[in-house]
Structure 1
């Protein structure tokens, strides 16, 4: 390749120098795209981490945003920033950040089972509820967890009113017992669920991850993507209003969809011997956004009049 592609990040430059076939293989991986919303959320998570265990009323957080707008990626980035390590005695593993999936319904037993699964511990649902609870709590203490992150917290609303109340009580109990920050990730439904309990609402600080709009922040996001995509020519994604508008419209303002669209456009460009993303690459790539998928589904099942 002639010269250094100064529009790319240092990490992307050697990849851009590879043949198209190898660059196509690279496109199947995942990479972190920094942006202001994510950096602000990571800063608040880091504040919670530094707060440390054992203190009264630790700061809980609730990262709220639409589906596929980067909540889980932020949690995974934070977990990687604080990876497991051997304890000082070398006899066990310290897991400072535990990321778990909320069960599909607000079952206390299934929640404790999900904690054990996240810690790669054996799970026996034959244990009485109190023993399962004690097992999970003892293990969380043993690994010296500092922050517990619960993804898909909006699943709380899938249960009956009684189940939801039991689960919210359990969350309060968990925070009071372990005295560590608990971080929930979810849609607006998660915030609605937490608001149904006055004590929990006061303890969970909401951190919004809104859908993107056509503004300077979105332009900087596109510039960050362009620095990571291994194309040898500058696409000027952030500078061309037509391109910016097309990406926003097809992605419906969700960062996961933006990533999928730009990845598909990059693959399309490489397959056709192109080294930049333009309107033709965006229109011709193998991608359907949420609105396009919905329209296709509705066309497949026409309404009966």
Structure 2
């Protein structure tokens, strides 16, 4: 049987536009926007043009989330740069908001026992190990949850956190740089 030809870019744009309109999207959030830099210049330009096209056609706000490289990718297109207002997200601090976040993490984990992680002491410990970013915090807690299940502990606590296989971002960078030498 003959293979169906790959749809062309204009067809895919129209399909995306129709689907976004059909579901009533009111804001388009693009996570990991920095990954656009991984493509070649033609693919980057097509993607940035698609963002501009969707923003124009749907008349909705575009929100890009990513590292410093996401900002650099948007800056490469003058029209898109005017549509994005750069904001730096601060790292988390050990406070009531952080304890609330930790309580949400604890409630979402499929463990049989409650995890006493929503305290200021635990928040300080977790933020130190994760360097204050939510993504790293999630990785650390998932690693501790795996230990909790495998050990039969069924809760995240100091013991399961100390046994968790997790390396923070600064240490990962140091390890990588040592390997380069």
What TM-score do you get using the length of structure 2 for normalisation?
0.68
Distance in structure 2 (CA, Å) of the matches to 1:142 and 1:294: 43
Does 2:92 align with 1:216?
Answer: no
Structure 1 residues without counterparts, runs of 5 or longer: 1-120, 125-131
Residues 141 and 267 of structure 1, relative CA distance in 2, 3 Å threshold: closer
RMSD of aligned residue pairs (Cα, Å): 3.6
Does 2:142 align with 1:259?
Answer: no
Displacement, 1:180?
Answer: 3.7
Q: How does 1:144-183 map to 2 (within 5 A)?
A: 144-145=20-21, 146-147=24-25, 148-157=28-37, 168=48, 171-176=51-56, 178-181=57-60, 182-183=62-63
Distance in structure 1 (CA, Å) of the matches to 2:112 and 2:140: 19
Residues 141 and 302 of structure 1, relative CA distance in 2, 3 Å threshold: closer
Alignment partner, residue 244 of structure 1: 123
Distance in structure 2 (CA, Å) of the matches to 1:155 and 1:265: 28
Displacement, 1:199?
Answer: 3.7
Displacement, 1:282?
Answer: 1.0
Higher RCO (C-alpha 8 Å, min separation 6): 1
What TM-score do you get using the length of structure 1 for normalisation?
0.45
Please list the CA deviations of residues 152-200 of structure 1 after superposition, one character each: whole Å capped at 9, or x if unmatched: 4324556788986776556434433x23424433223222333455543
Displacement, 1:268?
Answer: 1.9
Structure having the higher helix fraction is 2
Please list the CA deviations of residues 10-39 of structure 1 after superposition, one character each: whole Å capped at 9, or x if unmatched: xxxxxxxxxxxxxxxxxxxxxxxxxxxxxx
Residues 134 and 245 of structure 1, relative CA distance in 2, 3 Å threshold: same
How many residues in Structure 1 have an aligned counterpart in Structure 2?
A: 173
Alignment partner, residue 6 of structure 2: 123
Residues 295 and 201 of structure 1, relative CA distance in 2, 3 Å threshold: closer
